[in-house]
Amino acid sequence: MDDFSSANLIFLISQPRSGSTLLQRVLAGHPSIHTTAEPWLMLHPIYALRSEGYQAEYNAQLAQEALVDFYSALDGGENIYLEAIRRMSLYLYETACRQAGKQLFLDKTPRYYLIVPELVRLFPQARFILLLRNPLAVLESLLRRHVQGYWPILVHYRNDLLVAPRLLNAASKQVDAQVTVVRYEELVEDPQARVTRLCSWLNLNYNPAMLNYGQRNQPVGNMGDTESVQHYAAPTKARLAQWRHLGREPQTRHFAEQYLHALGHNLLADLGYDYATLQAQLLAEPCGRGEVTVTWDSLFYADDDSKKRLVYSELALLLYRRAAYRLRKWRE
């Protein structure tokens, strides 16, 4: 495709556990769109420009300084490096589309919430879909799917819980035809209407068969939600109220209340959710007996000694889970 450009790209960005795999599966039903599970393609080259936020066996900070030193000696400076990223990524996206016989590439990588401004700068004609979901539903899904009662593991998702909403909100305020916002709740409550509007925004013809993603093969790759979305063959409201289960146990209720407090009234309102309503629905759930063994502050606002204890505790839990998994596989 000699004319492949940023206009052939669609980026789907969200908090993890927001339903991005569901929306990806729906959009992948359009004959013009190709996608793979989660490329994560743009994070490495863009983060090479940053002096923090990632680790490597080599000295990452020195590597960033060396890169700046290199392109600073070139006419064009940083723009030369950005142009190199653009050309490399467009070549990869184009190759994927050409091999699939499609025209558009959908890159569904939730953690691109960290680099939205850079992506907009790199791909001025690309379309950006920001998928938002009730943050308490995101928390419930993380706790159920990944944490599974090993509470210290939750600290691994600090950015996903606390940074992502702020950055997604900032990106949604861009007055630009490149960006549109989709809310998970609207998507599952009236999928035909919401996907029809989305297709119109993408200048694509809507086909009702897009909603029946269960009749198609899933995108190639192991990343993303490879299990939950498989329980249904089309968008459904079945799990809309599942987040309220957070209120049924003291520990999860504590996390939910503190998460609401951490986000605050204004940010939640900007995202399209009401603090008081969510809190009332949470507290309306009958709460069982038990106690709070791990506080929100001890996870996210701990001093250095507390952080070390949590790390060691987390490591022990992960080793236990790994050993239990191996024992289970051996018994099978």
pLDDT tens profile 162-197: 999 999 999 998 767 899 999 999 999 999 999 999
Element (H, E) at 177: none
Q: Which residue has the tokens 């490149």?
A: 178
Contacts of 67 (CB under 8 A, 6+ apart): 48, 49, 81
Residue 296: inside a domain, yes or no? no
Element (H, E) at 298: helix 296-300
**Cα distance between residue 33 and residue 155, in whole Å:** 36
* Structure token pair of residue 50: 């940053």
pLDDT tens profile 64-116: 999 999 999 999 999 999 999 999 999 999 999 999 999 999 999 999 999 99
Residue 46: inside a domain, yes or no? yes
The pLDDT assigned to 226 comes to: 62
The pLDDT assigned to 318 comes to: 64
pLDDT tens profile 271-308: 999 999 999 999 999 999 999 999 999 998 866 555 55
pLDDT tens profile 193-239: 999 999 999 999 999 999 998 887 788 877 766 666 666 667 888 88
3-state SS assignment for residue 216: coil
The pLDDT assigned to 301 comes to: 85
Of 32, 18, 249, 244, the closest CA to residue 138 belongs to 18
Residue 114: inside a domain, yes or no? yes
Domain assignment of residue 185, given as a range:
6-144+159-237
Give the domain CATH number at 220: 3.40.50.300
pLDDT tens profile 4-30: 999 999 999 999 999 999 999 999 999
Alpha carbon of 237 to those of 22, 169, 187, 242: distances in Å? 12, 24, 9, 10
Element (H, E) at 170: helix 164-172
The pLDDT assigned to 124 comes to: 93
Q: Is the pLDDT of residue 256 over 80?
A: yes
Strand order in the sheet with 127-132: 33-35, 104-108, 9-14, 127-132, 179-183
Cα torsion for 320, 317, 239, 247, to the nearest 10°? 130
Residue pair 258/296 in contact (Cβ under 8 Å)? The answer is yes
* C-beta neighbour count of 303 within 10 angstroms: 8
The pLDDT assigned to 280 comes to: 97
The pLDDT assigned to 247 comes to: 95
The pLDDT assigned to 319 comes to: 66
The pLDDT assigned to 313 comes to: 61
The pLDDT assigned to 42 comes to: 97
- By CB atoms closer than 10 A (0-12, 13-18, 19+), residue 63 is middle
3-state SS assignment for residue 131: strand
Residue 134: inside a domain, yes or no? yes
Residue 312: inside a domain, yes or no? no
* Longest CA–CA separation in the chain, Å: 67
Residue 223: inside a domain, yes or no? yes
pLDDT tens profile 109-168: 999 999 999 999 999 999 999 999 999 999 999 999 889 888 988 998 999 999 999 999
Q: Where are the beta strands (DSSP E) in 176-286?
A: 179-183
Residue 170: inside a domain, yes or no? yes
Residue 154: inside a domain, yes or no? no
**Cα distance between residue 278 and residue 267, in whole Å:** 13
Alpha carbon of 217 to those of 136, 205, 275: distances in Å? 31, 21, 39
**Cα distance between residue 52 and residue 55, in whole Å:** 8
Q: Is the pLDDT of residue 314 over 80?
A: no
Total number of domains constituting the chain: 1
DSSP-assigned letters across all residues of 7-69: GGEEEEEE-TTSSHHHHHHHHTTSTTEEE-S---TTHHHHHTT-SSS---SS-HHHHHHHHHH
The pLDDT assigned to 170 comes to: 95
**Cα distance between residue 286 and residue 282, in whole Å:** 9
- The band of 240, judged by pLDDT with boundaries at 50, 70 and 90, is very high
